[in-house]
Amino acid sequence: MKYRDRKPALRAAALAAAALMGLGLCSIPAAAEEEPQIQVITQTASSSALVDPAQCNHYLTISEAGTYEEEGTYRQVVIEKGGVELKNKVIYNLFIRPEVNTQIVRLENVTVTGNIYVYTGARVKMTDCQVAGITGRYDGSVNLYAIGDTTIENVLLNTDAFLWCEKLAEDAGAYQNVTVRSATSKYLNVTLNNAKVENISTYLPTNLSVTKGSRVENVTCYDQTAILGTGEVGNLFAKSSGVTYEEEPEYIKTDESVSSTPRLSDEKLDDDSVSYNVVHEDWYK
């Protein structure tokens, strides 16, 4: 993971974490990994704790709205209330709990070396943040905003989602790898709003709306996927039948084993009409 220039304390913490990972002393969990159990501990971390968050024992639980801007390094942060603004921190795992509901959580100048776990319909606005992974979980529509100099390496969607970009810096990575995969839904709706995305992979029937102003470099479909909207798609790789698009991608490749090639259509998939690809059932066991 690439760490951008930060305040000295945060930059040193991020570099220390990267060094430990390079030595194999700790690892960044992929977005698709099983989430860890939340530790019920509340403790304020020292701002001078320049160690990898996964190796420290500093925990923070936030149950009141407000701004929390003291620099610190944490193994785990749990947010239980909307209206929270978190600044200047290095965190291993961040949990945004169901109690937040559809309210806003703001992160600014935050580095997450593990995962952010987002429950229900929370709106997470990330300004000048470096995030290894985000997992959108359970019911509701997760709203993610990449703002300024923000790079999010991996996003795993188990629920409907909106991915936004606002005032993105020219060299910001925005959303690097987005995976649509769920054990509890026959299909999902994913909408890109003025978003910059490198790779999207769909492993179950998906309505992927790429609105005007959005661009996806690569879309790989392992199941039925309707690509809607007039945004830009660079490369479309169809590894399943039932792939359609509204705006023709710049390049299309269909696997030889696929019975039908991608075709022009502006129709969404319907939960009652799609046939769930049972080949992927084992992914969830």
- What pLDDT does 26 receive? 37
Beta-bridged to residue 272, according to DSSP, are: none
pLDDT of residue 32: 40
Query: What pLDDT shows up at residue 58?
Result: 87
Mean pLDDT on 93-120: 93
**pTM of structure:** 0.82
**DSSP bridge pairs for 162:** 143, 191
Question: How far apart are the C-alpha atoms of 256 and 148, rounded to whole Å?
Answer: 42
HEC profile for 55-82?
HCCCEEEECCCEEECCCEEEEEEEECCC
pLDDT mean over 19-45: 44
Q: CB count, 10 Å around CB of 271?
A: 10
Residue 64 pLDDT grade (very low, low, confident, very high; cuts 50, 70, 90): very high
Residue 105 has pLDDT above 90, yes or no: yes
Taking every pair of Cα atoms in the chain, the longest distance, rounded to a whole number of angstroms, is: 59
Which segment of 53-57, 83-87, 151-155 scores lowest on mean pLDDT? 53-57
Predicted confidence at residue 4, as pLDDT, reads: 53
Average model confidence (pLDDT) across the chain: 82
Residue of higher predicted confidence among 277 and 187: 187
Check residues 8 and 263 and name the one with the higher pLDDT. 263
